[in-house]
Chain A
Amino acid sequence: MTDIDDELRRALAISPSPDFVVRTRRHIVASSPASATQLLVRVRSAWRVGSGRVRQGYWTAGLTAAAVLLAALWLFPSRTQRPAVATIGARSLVAIGHLVPVPSSPRVELLQAPGAIASVGLVPEVSTGTPSHVVSADATATVASAPSAPIVVLIHPAERRGFRLLLAALGDRRFELPSVVDEAPILADAIDVTTITGPAPLDVAPLPAQ
């Protein structure tokens, strides 16, 4: 031990703030990866740590594969993210989110919300990357009759299984998501509020006349 060590020891004798641990916990939560990734990490850790017990059985393998798939979808959304935009009259019908690039078009249903229009069928051709849309005659008529009504479009539950959902809003208006969620309790679990802040919609040509 030398004078230099004494001096250095005194200089380094600082302690973390009393709330350091609490703040660090919050920081860890805030900077944690998405839940799907966490799930993946946890399944992997379970796989490693409890290998003797857990590794047996195909359920674990199935869960791991599902976690990997979810994590991949979560981590690389850009590959499947295709904003779908339709123009109905002077308004835009916008769906933003993670669509699935399947050859067959996902069925889209209108969610009944206060002031919303009853039924719109929207068929984005996400597989080609070129949005094209078919809007039913009924829907077009309804839209025309309520020019200021907001529209919410959801992919049909049967089609969007395993994927995060897209919400749509009309023009420059956007729904308050909680109220929409209240109207559709069955779909509520599939709605991720964060998707509303997704990429700007594509600018596409107006729909051809029906």
Chain B
Amino acid sequence: MDGYAAPLIVTTRLADELDREFEARLAESSTLAVRIAYSILRHREDAEDVAQDAFAKAHRAFAQLRDRERFRAWLARMTWRLALDRRRADRRRLVRELAEAAPVASSGVPDDLDAQQRADALWRAIDALPEKLRIVIVMVNIEEHGIGEVARLLGLPEGTVKSRLFEARKRLKEQLTWMQETSR
């Protein structure tokens, strides 16, 4: 009887171990996933939805992930992709809705940039960056990741991360300066 049951017991035990391991990963990587999604969607609930989808997807494929140490990198890329997809879908819907809605009068350019406006300007500038630069500057500023950590998360050489970070900062600075000047 033991001979019959042994493979099932082993299978169940391994599945339980996988589930426990996944739960631990889920707890430690929640903030990362939510922040990555937030950096694209800028909406907390949407970001959490996307992060949940990413975890669900990760859970389905977790058993096949050979190098478990790569989980965070894997999750980060998956979340990034899902958030981009979500934003594209949202924009398509928004365009449709705006096309159907009556035109709204412009409120004009504000005289000064307060904190909220500065943040909005920053996000607009970040959105204008090419994706490969954008993901680097976002990842560096999530959970205070160092260059090495970002390189591991993105699967890039550290030198590449540094140069992209430099380029991203330069472009952001130019863009924000330009925005500030045009708003005066």
A27 CB, nearest partner CB in chain B, Å: 5
Q: Are A4 and B122 in contact (CB under 8 A)?
A: yes
Q: Are A43 and B23 in contact (CB under 8 A)?
A: no
A25 in the interface (beta carbon within 8 A): yes
Mask of B8-23 contacts with A, CB within 8 angstroms, 1/0: 1011101100100001
Our pick among B3, B34, B138, B173 for the contact of A8 (Cβ within 8 Å) is B138
In this complex, which of B52, B64, B126, B144 has the most chain A Cβ atoms within 10 angstroms of its Cβ?
B52
Given contacts A8-B141, A9-B141, A24-B55, whether A16 and B31 have CB atoms under 8 Å apart is yes
Distance between Cα atoms of A63 and B9 in the complex (Å): 12
Q: Are A59 and B137 in contact (CB under 8 A)?
A: no
List A residues 10-40 near B (Cβ within 8 Å): 11-12, 14-17, 20-21, 23-25, 27-28, 31-33
Our pick among A14, A21, A28, A59 for the contact of B44 (Cβ within 8 Å) is A14
Task: Say which one of A48-56, A94-102, A195-203 lies at the interface with B.
Answer: A48-56
Distance between Cα atoms of A43 and B10 in the complex (Å): 9
B161 CB, nearest partner CB in chain A, Å: 14
Q: Which residues of B contact A50 (CB under 8 A)?
A: 10, 14
A41 in the interface (beta carbon within 8 A): yes
Q: Are A57 and B7 in contact (CB under 8 A)?
A: yes
Our pick among A15, A46, A57, A63 for the contact of B34 (Cβ within 8 Å) is A15
B58 nearest CB neighbor, chain A only: A28
Q: Which residues of B contact A148 (CB under 8 A)?
A: none
Interface size class of B (residues with CB under 8 A): 35 or more
Chain A contact residues: over half helix, strand or loop, or mixed?
A: helix
Q: Which residues of A contact B140 (CB under 8 A)?
A: 5
Our pick among B6, B60, B126, B173 for the contact of A33 (Cβ within 8 Å) is B60
Q: Are A54 and B38 in contact (CB under 8 A)?
A: no
Q: Which residues of B contact A46 (CB under 8 A)?
A: 7, 10-11, 14-15
Q: Are B119 and A7 in contact (CB under 8 A)?
A: yes
Q: Are B60 and A63 in contact (CB under 8 A)?
A: no
B156 in the interface (beta carbon within 8 A): no
A107 in the interface (beta carbon within 8 A): no
List B residues 1-51 near A (Cβ within 8 Å): 3-4, 6-8, 10-12, 14-15, 18, 23, 26-27, 30-31, 34-35, 38-39, 44, 47-48, 51
List B residues 41-86 near A (Cβ within 8 Å): 44, 47-48, 51-53, 55-56, 59-60, 63-64
Q: Are B39 and A12 in contact (CB under 8 A)?
A: yes
B172 in the interface (beta carbon within 8 A): yes
Our pick among A5, A7, A24 for the contact of B52 (Cβ within 8 Å) is A24
B31 CB, nearest partner CB in chain A, Å: 6
Given contacts A12-B138, A14-B35, A63-B8, whether A41 and B122 have CB atoms under 8 Å apart is no
Given contacts A27-B56, A31-B56, A42-B15, whether A16 and B51 have CB atoms under 8 Å apart is yes
Distance between Cα atoms of A25 and B52 in the complex (Å): 9
Q: Are B63 and A41 in contact (CB under 8 A)?
A: yes
A91 in the interface (beta carbon within 8 A): no
Q: Are A20 and B14 in contact (CB under 8 A)?
A: no
A78 in the interface (beta carbon within 8 A): no
B165 CB, nearest partner CB in chain A, Å: 9
Which A residues are closer than 8 A to B by beta carbons? 2, 4-5, 7-9, 11-12, 14-17, 20-21, 23-25, 27-28, 31-33, 41-46, 48-50, 53-54, 57, 59-60, 63
- For the complex with contacts A14-B34, A15-B34, 18 further pairs of A-B residues with Cβ separation under 8 Å are A4-B169, A4-B173, A5-B140, A8-B126, A8-B137, A11-B122, A14-B35, A21-B26, A21-B27, A24-B52, A27-B53, A28-B59, A42-B15, A44-B64, A46-B10, A59-B6, A60-B7, A63-B11
Q: Which 3 A-B pairs have the closest CB atoms?
A: A45-B63, A46-B11, A42-B15
